[in-house]
Amino acid sequence: MTQREKECDYMENRLKVKDVARLMNVSEQFVRACLQDKVFPFGYATKINGSSRWTYYISPTKFQEYTGIKL
């Protein structure tokens, strides 16, 4: 499996912040803040040392279980 294939497989197994915001009818910033503050149990936010950017992971399975929203 190539690196690109691994990246695509990883991306298919997570939700985007913008999609979660749309499904929950909230702003993207709200979703980001809740992930950063560990409010939502369906994902996490991480920040690499020395960077000002956050990276987000949202599990489709845990999102559906927590919200009851079907994907």
Residue-level pLDDT at 71: 87
pLDDT band for 5, please (50, 70, 90 cuts).
very low
Distance CA 20, CA 60 (A): 10
Mean pLDDT of 41-64: 93
pLDDT digits (tens, 9 = 90+) for 9-45: 545 689 999 999 999 999 999 999 999 999 999 999 9
* Dihedrals phi, psi of 16, to nearest 5 degrees: -90, 150
